[in-house]
A and B are shown apart, each in its own frame.
Chain A
Amino acid sequence: MKKFILLGIFIVLGYLFSKSEHFLTISYGVALFLFGMYFLESGFKGFSGGFLEKILKKSTDKLWKSFTFGACAAALMQSSSLVMLLSISFLSAGLITLAAGVGIVFGANVGTTSGAWIIAGFGLKVNIAAYAMPMLVFGAILLFQKNPISKGIGAIIAGLGFLFLGIGYMKDGFESFKEVIDLSQFALGGVKGLVLYILIGILATAIMQSSHATLVIVITALSVGQITYDNAIALTIGANTGTTITALIGSIGSNANGKRFVLAEVGFNVITGIIVTLAFVPVKEILDVVSGWLGIADTDYTLKVALFHTLFNLVGTVILIGFTSNIVRFLERVIKDAPSGKQKDEVDTPIYLSPEAIEFPEAAKEVLYKEAKHLYLNAQNLVSVALCIKPEDITSGDSVVDILKMRNMGVQKDIESMYDNKIKPIYSEIIDFAVHAQTHAEVEDVKKMMDIRRATLLVAELIKDVEEMHGNIAKYIGSANLHIKEEYDFIRANLIKQLRHVNMIINTEEEDMLTILFGKIANESKHFDAISGRSLDKLIREQLITNSMATSLMNDTAYASSISSTLQKIAETLFRQNERYMETHEAITQE
């Protein structure tokens, strides 16, 4: 279906191009403009090198800070979409709160209006295309450099060059077009005109996926008198509302927080659009008054449209910012988190790996870390089942001796299918996500992502050992031979203790406690080496256990030893990824 629509668009455009050279020039200008925006975005992504991410992470604890971040970043990059994308990825990773995300939405909407000012105040007043040529040359030279920073700067310069060139062509196109046909004769006044041009604005923005591009066309057409001032304002309302369609499409793959963020953006634009449309006449009067204060001439309609665009978003912000906490509560009520309490045999899927985070290393590392912890907790449950205890025994306050007394009946479980349902799907998604995220990351971040991959591989190895051991545990803990039962209970007790300690490491932030816990899990893994020959010889010599039992015990002690050291490695590898202990992990762990 999509292919047919695209083909249809090509045919219609091809026909129109053959009929009107001026239309071709305008379309060419729009294409160059969009191309410029694409370059600008990719340039900022490469050039910032995590700079924006670091600011975003640290400066969004208060609403005014997130608003300022959104406004400045969108004004600097001349695009709110990259700011939104970055914010969605951070929100999905849990690095910023939803309230901060809403603040960013308000800020980005105001910040992005700077574009209309640049076009109206600078782009149309000077021969902007003349600046484009040298910029494209410098940009292209820098683009071919190996250094990523030079490449990024090159993309930004080339992007601006294309933007300027696009504006120049659009301006020329509309001017020449006027000689052939005067579009202003189709101007429509009153409510009909308002509604029709709002719809045209929405449609144009939805097609071009950029309100910025719609606005540049509107302002350029207005500058040469091809559309009326009233219709230009209506188109601006439409452009601001239409931009939400792009956001809605982009949110399809996001998690609940990403969807809430997009709903906030949609809500902001739609509510503001409705308010401004209903109060169109008084809004225009206010616009005239404010234009007078700012010294904008009464007939400088392009600057007045730019001012309208800013006022439009400021009005929305002023009205809605006081309700941020209500908005957050509403969003959380409307869009619920995916249910976490899955059925026993249901296939578990990743919780944190959101596609938006792939391109931003800080967010990517965070979601990978959280997902690896999720994977570990699933593995912990699976190990508990293999040890013939209940997963909740690990976090209960019961003594290990009491747990062993309570769980003294072995039941064979299908560990392999549990692995297929609870481990494998998440494990493979983590690897896939990390492989893709690494292509966007710097060397240091790649190292950390590789570490997380290593930890997930260890989890998979852990389960293999557990699977091997489970059959004998289930067989011997209820055995009438108390000697073999005691040996297997010894293995279980040590592993339960270690699982408890690793679980405490995951849930503790106190550095002194962490140090003790890491010491304990290290001691526990050494413990298995000591018991490997503990009483086995005596048991065999005195024929207290059969040869078959002895062989099983020997093998399973080796598996337990391997499980124990793998648990220690997983805990240490994951702990290294926690930013909080970046400088102290060496002194805390036994590495």
Chain B
Amino acid sequence: MGKKCFLILIAMTLITSSMWAQDLALKGGTILTITKGTIEQGTIVIQRGRITAVGKDVVIPDGIPVIDVTGKYIMPGIIDSHSHIALTDVNEATDPVTPQIWMWEALDPGSDSIRTTLAGGVTTVKTMHGSANVIGGVNVSIKLKYDRPIEELIIPGVRQQLKMALGENPKRVYGEKGRSPSTRMGNAYVARKAFVEAQEYKAKWDRYEKEKAAGKEDLTAPKKDLKMETLKMALEKKLSVDCHTYRAEEIVWIINFCKEFGLDLIQISHCIDGYKVADVMAEAGVFYGGWVDSWGFKEEAYDGCPYGMQIMYDAGTKMVINSDSPVVGRYLFREAAKVLKYTDIPENEALKMITLNAAESMELEDRIGSLEIGKDGDIAVFDKHPLDTTTKCMMTVIEGEVFFDYARQSVTAKGGSR
């Protein structure tokens, strides 16, 4: 059911999305393109929601509204690849295996978290099932179009991700109920059992479909199982996997597990110990999706090490910074600046961790994450360089539409201090 609805939704979105697309030009700002350097006093033109021109000497076509951003900085809309905002519910914490849960069915476009996150220059987030279950639900990648119908928020045509979680959280949630899993061994068993069953389920359905296609008569379709349907999609790589884990041994375990079952592991979320196995992660091509300097907020997070990003960078591990929280989600640009404190990673690479790399970790790098012709007109405007941490976001644009404007939506706009 979930799958079918989702496909219909995607189709609807494809048909309707161009209807709201807008035209807009931003003139005179310093443009941080991410992929093609910095353009001083540049202009960017968005038509029907897509970027049609970026450069210094751009002629703005007639009839396009122009905003003068002289002296300000323009960067691609910030992308958060691990968030739980805009959801009415996060954890179906009643069973350690709940792949039948689709997070778009908890999506709340009027959530205040969208308003506050927009004010931090964020335009796209992957909002996720929580970490209570070893196999949680299917995440959803959305544009932060505050208070619009969900068809406008959900990004069409992109492969979504199945959320998995290892370590303390599932151990605690089920261990406290006197149920399995209550150990890391239990977590592993629960995951393996589910996917072994899914393999059998898939084999049954494959045989049935094959025989049906061959014209065989008197066939009985196998019984549908919604959990298995989702896991089958993961086995068929119609879904990728994002796994929550902190510790090195679990990072290696999930990489091997996904190899064993032929799953596309795309991101390891939190990934506190990632630097310890940077080479293993680089070889697996999986994203580090974590914070910059968090440590010690729970046992399995004890070894958090901000300098470790340098080890990962040198090993070629792909990295994104994400928030996991509506508080941090408002200042991911500040987190990116911290990368420069603890490592010698170049500025543009730090910015990529909240833009292009994050887009890639959501398989959206062809659409968002840099300012290039043909990409979505998703833009964040800052009053200073976004890595200068005395800056603030002045404007957030999604597909050519202004969704946040400091001049209208701030304390100052309301006449200063109350």
B is a partner of A: no
Interface residues of A (CB under 8 A from B): none
